[in-house]
Amino acid sequence: MTTRIDARFAELAKQGRSAFVTFLMAGDPDPATSIDIIKALPKAGADIIEIGMPFTDPMADGPSIQAAGLRALKAGMTLKKTLELVRGFRKEDNATPLVLMGYYNPIYIYGVDKFLTDAKSAGVDGLIIVDLPPEEDTELCIPAMKVGLNFIRLATPTTDDKRLPAVLANTSGFVYYVSIAGITGGAAADSNVVGEAVARIKRHTKLPVCVGFGIRTPDAARAIAQKANGAVVGTALVDALHASLDGEGRATPKTVGAVADLASALAQGVKGAKQAAE
């Protein structure tokens, strides 16, 4: 089955460039502003959009993304509303791949089968669930594959050659390489080291490999995009959003533009890169 993700990577391969992948939290700083931001991203140059599902206890995230999730929850965001946001986006854009990223508990409580049905019909293309390693594939990964959603797995510096096949076995869409052992918003990885890691993963799979964690600037995005099939930026965009809010943490007239402007600059960085050697 070809998904929007597969189609997008095929298109980018023809253009000879890597993907610019954005991450923002659904409902941050409030549901109405959040949909405006997400809608502005394709025009700003985002090739694939990751949307965070807010969770109270995001164990793999740093302070910026934790705070974004709490802002969204405080503004009344729920998993149901996140799916409504996707539905709203899909009314205007039927091509840009959307990937939901987060933690398992809200999905488990929503009900796995109901969630997959609703996510698929809303127009979600893939899932990244941080706390579901291959050892727990029967929970959500296998059911997601059955309904035609990509289950995108994280590979990390601790995922050695022995373990990679298990991690890649049920992965589809793309592989998300976490460039550092750590939480989001942490230190940046050296692009040469990342290049070696991407090459190592590519020895085990034909899937595109996108790299995230620690990419904050257009230059850094360019450097990573030269080594991988995509560069993922999250914390820097979330920080730009946060900086545009008023003293009470509410959206201002600058908020959507602040995120879109940084996304455009980052997209230029990615587009300036030469396509990774295959």
> What span, in angstroms and rounded, lies between the C-alpha atoms of 122 and 10?
23
- 171 or 226: whose CB is closer to other proteins? 171
- 160 or 248: whose CB is closer to other proteins? 160
Pairing of strands 175-178, 209-212: parallel
Query: Least distance in Å: CB of 24 to other proteins?
Result: 19
61 among known catalytic residues: yes
> What span, in angstroms and rounded, lies between the C-alpha atoms of 242 and 61?
16
Return phi, psi of residue 111, to 5°: 105, 120
- 135 or 278: whose CB is closer to other proteins? 135
Query: Least distance in Å: CB of 195 to other proteins?
Result: 20
> What span, in angstroms and rounded, lies between the C-alpha atoms of 65 and 69?
6
User: SS3 of 91, please?
Assistant: coil
> What span, in angstroms and rounded, lies between the C-alpha atoms of 241 and 258?
6
Q: Which of 177, 183, 105 is nearest to 140 (CA)?
A: 105
Interface segment toward other proteins; rule CB under 8 A; list 16-24, 42-50, 153-161, 224-232? 153-161
Rule CB under 8 A: choose which of 11, 136, 161, 219 binds other proteins.
136
List residues bridging with 24 in a β-sheet.
Answer: 51
156 part of the interface to other proteins, by CB under 8 A: yes
Return phi, psi of residue 45, to 5°: 115, 10
**C-alpha distances out from residue 41 to 57, 225, 265, Å:** 27, 18, 12
176-235: contacts with other proteins (CB under 8 A): 178, 181-183, 186
- 81 or 227: whose CB is closer to other proteins? 81
57 part of the interface to other proteins, by CB under 8 A: yes
Rule CB under 8 A: choose which of 71, 153, 202, 227 binds other proteins.
153
249 part of the interface to other proteins, by CB under 8 A: no
Rule CB under 8 A: choose which of 88, 143, 157, 249 binds other proteins.
157
11 part of the interface to other proteins, by CB under 8 A: no
Q: How far does Cα 37 stand from its chain's mean position?
A: 15
- 66 or 255: whose CB is closer to other proteins? 66
Look up residue 172 and give its DSSP letter.
-
- 107 or 124: whose CB is closer to other proteins? 107
Rule CB under 8 A: choose which of 36, 84, 106, 249 binds other proteins.
106
143 part of the interface to other proteins, by CB under 8 A: no
Which strand ranges, in their side-by-side order, compose the sheet holding 98-102? 150-151, 126-129, 98-102, 48-52, 19-25, 230-233, 209-212, 175-178, 154-155
Task: Identify the active-site residue in 28, 30, 47, 61.
Answer: 61
Q: Which residues bind other proteins (CB under 8 A)?
A: 54-60, 62-63, 66, 73, 78-80, 103-110, 130-136, 153-160, 163, 167, 178, 181-183, 186
Active site residues: 50, 61
